[in-house]
């Protein structure tokens, strides 16, 4: 069996090792797959953000600040959208222990918004205080896929019970995301994703002949391997398996093609829906840029949920937070393209607000410790060119 993370961190051939090299006999034909117009002049946005990564895993725990109960809810690495509802459910349980009438949430990203909505549902009046509104946050610059164990902790540093806690968060979040399926604007949807490879499947000739041969450290020889935890097996029952499909039943000229079904967050719509839900339930938003925890205590709220993402490094002096730089480019949306692709370490997700193109040439360690938020146009164009090569040879 193979999952998206396996596809991205290893070569396709390696990821499929152990699977049958024969196409699945129960293959269900695909609808016609519209070609992607992969041209650099169709790039409408290049966004960079820093994943808020903690080697020990996300911080979801309480701290006393004088009379104020602070509940931390930050440090979700590459999984913040995926785990949001589950992590926030834990945080809100801690926050509501004394049934406060008023709750302040610091931060308006995926974690802040889901915490705020869950605190409202638990009966509190909620004010969000944040430097940035959702559209300006890291959360707005994410890829938008269900990736609950992407860069969530380091194997040697993960908190002892993290696997169990993570599983609970992932299962809770998975159920909550389902509530947003089928809504106007399509905040959440399921799509097919194809992993297309030029490699000869291992077991056929025993060698990798294509260029899709990146390892966990990929092309970034300077980056030391960091050994992220991998928990996907714990929730294997939630999502369908990837299956090899006959390449000639798809438009792709390739040696091997596999297909999975993945949950996608259309971030513009999802964010808009969450903001609306928050305001409709009486929520208030205040712009605020806190320099010290004392300024937060001075708000006079008995309970504060701290969802400041990477901002917690400066605000809470949490030196354990490591930036993991990531970049996505968006092409003009193509509504007729309703499938995702992984090809030569380029990931494509057909979000409704733009066709996301992301390079994983450096493997999962790419961007580890890199705080540079300047967009790299050359990287984006190279990823688009890689896609273009696939569609040119498949035409």
Ligand X SMILES: Cc1cc2nc3c(=O)[nH]c(=O)nc-3n(C[C@H](O)[C@H](O)[C@H](O)COP(=O)(O)OP(=O)(O)OC[C@H]3O[C@@H](n4cnc5c(N)ncnc54)[C@H](O)[C@@H]3O)c2cc1C
The binding site for ligand X (CB under 6 A) comprises: 49, 51-52, 74, 76-82, 106-112, 130-132, 137-139, 142-145, 147, 288-290, 307-311, 315, 326, 328
Tell me the closest approach of the beta carbon of residue 149 to ligand X, in angstroms. Answer: 10
164: CB partners within 8 A, 6+ apart: none
Select 255 or 266, whichever has its Cβ closest to ligand X: 266
Here the tokens at position 82 are 């995926």
Select 19 or 70, whichever has its Cβ closest to ligand X: 70
Beta bridge partners of 196: 257, 343
Here the tokens at position 262 are 């993945």
Instruction: Count CA atoms within 13 Å of residue 128 on its CB side.
Output: 30
Count of residues making up the chain: 395
Here the tokens at position 117 are 């909505």
Tell me the closest approach of the beta carbon of residue 265 to ligand X, in angstroms. Answer: 7
What b/e sequence results for 322-348 when a residue is b if at least 16 CB atoms lie within 10 Å of its CB, and e otherwise?
A: bbbbbbbbbbeeeeebebbbbbbbbbb
What b/e sequence results for 118-144 when a residue is b if at least 16 CB atoms lie within 10 Å of its CB, and e otherwise?
A: bbbebebbbbbbbbbebeebbbbbbbb
Select 109 or 201, whichever has its Cβ closest to ligand X: 109
Tell me the closest approach of the beta carbon of residue 142 to ligand X, in angstroms. Answer: 3
Region at 199 (left for phi over 0; alpha for psi -120 to 50; beta for the rest): beta
Select 177 or 202, whichever has its Cβ closest to ligand X: 177
Select 82 or 208, whichever has its Cβ closest to ligand X: 82
Contact 249, 25 (CB under 8 A): no
Tell me the closest approach of the beta carbon of residue 388 to ligand X, in angstroms. Answer: 22
Tell me the closest approach of the beta carbon of residue 274 to ligand X, in angstroms. Answer: 11
Here the tokens at position 48 are 């960079």
Tell me the closest approach of the beta carbon of residue 42 to ligand X, in angstroms. Answer: 20
Select 77 or 86, whichever has its Cβ closest to ligand X: 77
Select 108 or 254, whichever has its Cβ closest to ligand X: 108
Question: Per residue, what are the HEC states of 21-74?
Answer: CCCCCCCCCCCCCCCCCCCHHHEEEEEEEEEEECCCCCEEEEEEECCEEEEEEE
Select 30 or 220, whichever has its Cβ closest to ligand X: 220
By CB atoms closer than 10 A (0-12, 13-18, 19+), residue 23 is: middle
> Crossing angle of helices 80-95/110-121, nearest 10°?
40
Here the tokens at position 121 are 């549902």
Select 252 or 285, whichever has its Cβ closest to ligand X: 285
Contact 36, 391 (CB under 8 A): yes
Tell me the closest approach of the beta carbon of residue 148 to ligand X, in angstroms. Answer: 7
Tell me the closest approach of the beta carbon of residue 40 to ligand X, in angstroms. Answer: 19
Tell me the closest approach of the beta carbon of residue 144 to ligand X, in angstroms. Answer: 5
Cross-sheet strand order for the sheet of 339-343? 43-53, 322-331, 354-359, 346-351, 339-343, 188-197, 256-265, 243-245
Tell me the closest approach of the beta carbon of residue 316 to ligand X, in angstroms. Answer: 9
Select 128 or 254, whichever has its Cβ closest to ligand X: 128
């Amino acid at each position: 069996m193979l999952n998206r993370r396996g596809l991205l961190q290893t070569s396709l051939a390696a990821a499929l090792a152990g699977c049958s090299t024969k196409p699945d006999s129960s293959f269900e034909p695909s609808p016609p797959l519209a070609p992607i117009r992969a041209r650099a002049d169709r790039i409408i946005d290049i966004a960079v953000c820093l994943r808020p990564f903690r080697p020990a895993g996300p911080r979801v725990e309480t701290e006393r600040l004088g009379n104020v109960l602070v509940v931390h809810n930050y440090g979700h690495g590459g999984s913040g959208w995926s785990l949001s509802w589950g992590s926030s459910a834990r945080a809100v349980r801690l926050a509501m222990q004394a049934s406060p009438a008023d709750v302040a949430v610091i931060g308006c990203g995926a974690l802040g918004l889901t915490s705020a909505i869950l605190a409202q549902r638990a009966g509190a009046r909620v004010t969000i205080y944040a430097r940035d509104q959702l559209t300006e946050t890291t959360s707005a610059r994410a890829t938008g896929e269900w990736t609950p164990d992407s860069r969530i902790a380091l194997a040697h540093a993960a908190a002892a019970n993290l696997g169990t806690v993570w599983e609970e968060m992932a299962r809770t979040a998975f159920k909550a995301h389902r509530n947003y399926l089928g809504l106007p604007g399509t905040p959440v949807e399921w799509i097919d994703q194809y992993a297309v490879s030029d490699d000869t499947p291992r077991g056929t000739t025993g060698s990798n002949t294509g260029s899709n041969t990146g390892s966990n450290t990929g092309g970034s020889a300077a980056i030391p391997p960091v050994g992220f935890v991998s928990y996907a097996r714990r929730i294997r029952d939630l999502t369908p398996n990837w299956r090899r499909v006959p390449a000639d039943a798809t438009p792709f000229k390739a040696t091997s093609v596999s297909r999975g079904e993945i949950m996608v967050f259309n971030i513009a719509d999802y964010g808009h829906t969450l903001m609306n839900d928050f305001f409709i339930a009486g929520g208030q938003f205040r712009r605020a840029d806190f320099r010290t925890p004392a300024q937060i205590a001075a708000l006079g709220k008995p309970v504060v949920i701290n969802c400041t993402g990477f901002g917690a490094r400066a605000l809470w002096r949490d030196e354990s937070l490591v930036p993991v730089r990531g970049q996505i480019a968006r092409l003009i949306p193509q509504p007729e393209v309703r499938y995702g692709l992984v090809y030569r370490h380029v990931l494509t997700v057909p979000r409704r607000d733009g066709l996301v193109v992301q390079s994983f040439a450096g493997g999962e360690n790419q961007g580890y410790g890199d705080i540079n938020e300047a967009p790299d146009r050359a990287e984006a164009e190279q990823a688009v060119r890689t896609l273009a090569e696939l569609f040119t040879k498949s035409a």
